[in-house]
A and B are shown apart, each in its own frame.
Chain A
């Protein structure tokens, strides 16, 4: 019996059987890995899981089938929350006659070397999963610092102030396009533009006063 590791809404679970997966209420934003896959893939790209998502009747068909197999196998299915590690379930699964082609893979899993792959998953998760998760839960817009940029333009030092307003525009633009990372970066740049504007204003104040003292005499 094939075991799956699943990445759904930011949490990783596994190993799990197809039947356990069907109870999680997954949707097509989930990512999945099983032995033989080089990396995490979208759940919809695994045929049997895609079938599972599209209708429960597929699972209903599978579940009655299982008791026809060995008793061992049905035990595994009946105890989905067995706390034993995957190796136990994998070897159980390996004893099923019609899973023989997968036997090699499963044993490698149980022995360790390939087991590292699910743990390499989080890195893949960070890059692959980042987009879908953010699309689901829309973050707040990063601060545009617009008011401070306007105030800096008028009161402190105009050129970085205008740059700050432009960054405020870019922040909102990228945020509306759903590019939250870039929006955050533009927000940071805008904050720096305002800070630079204020600093230049503070530095230039005594300097310009000193210059006019020199020119006009005290």
Chain B
């Protein structure tokens, strides 16, 4: 059980590090390189932007400390990354701060998340963010 966990953690860390390295050095918005990066299947099929569209370009911009450009590509990612961090912290310290974890996982919090994601999709497809 624990060795499996260690192996999985090391594997995940390796994948994340490789990803960080790739997205730090290679710009997905570069027309010559863009064909090497995966495209959003939702955008390819329907021509509409999904909540995750622009994530790769935004990650490249963020890794190069260009947060204005990252927000231009995918503003939701910029907001969601600290939030994801909060969720992991709350989960790790569940015993110590049960209230924090409960607040983040409260049905109202999740409902707000759903509304924000749906509003973001509508907003970016109308205003072309």
Write the residues of chain A forming the contact surface with B, with a CB cutoff of 8 angstroms.
Answer: 141, 144, 146-147, 150-151, 153-159, 161-162, 165-166, 168-169, 172-173, 176, 200-201, 204-209, 211-213, 215-216
Contact = CB atoms under 8 A, between A and B. Distances in A.
A150 B83 contact: yes
A150 B113 CA distance: 9
Interface of B is mostly: helix
A150 B35 contact: no
Nearest to B56: A155
Contacts, number: 88
Interface of A is mostly: helix
B64 interface: no
B60 to A, nearest CB: 14
A181 B88 CA distance: 26
B51 A144 contact: no
3 tightest Cβ-Cβ pairs between the two chains A and B: A158-B50, A208-B39, A205-B38
B77 interface: yes
Interface of B: 34-42, 44, 50-52, 55, 74, 76-77, 80, 83-84, 87-88, 91, 105-107, 110-111, 113-114, 117-118
B84 A153 contact: no
A208 B38 contact: yes
30 contacts: A141-B105, A144-B110, A146-B110, A147-B88, A147-B91, A153-B117, A154-B52, A154-B76, A154-B80, A155-B52, A157-B42, A157-B52, A158-B40, A158-B42, A162-B114, A162-B117, A165-B110, A165-B117, A172-B105, A172-B106, A172-B110, A200-B41, A204-B41, A209-B36, A209-B37, A209-B39, A211-B39, A211-B44, A215-B35, A216-B35
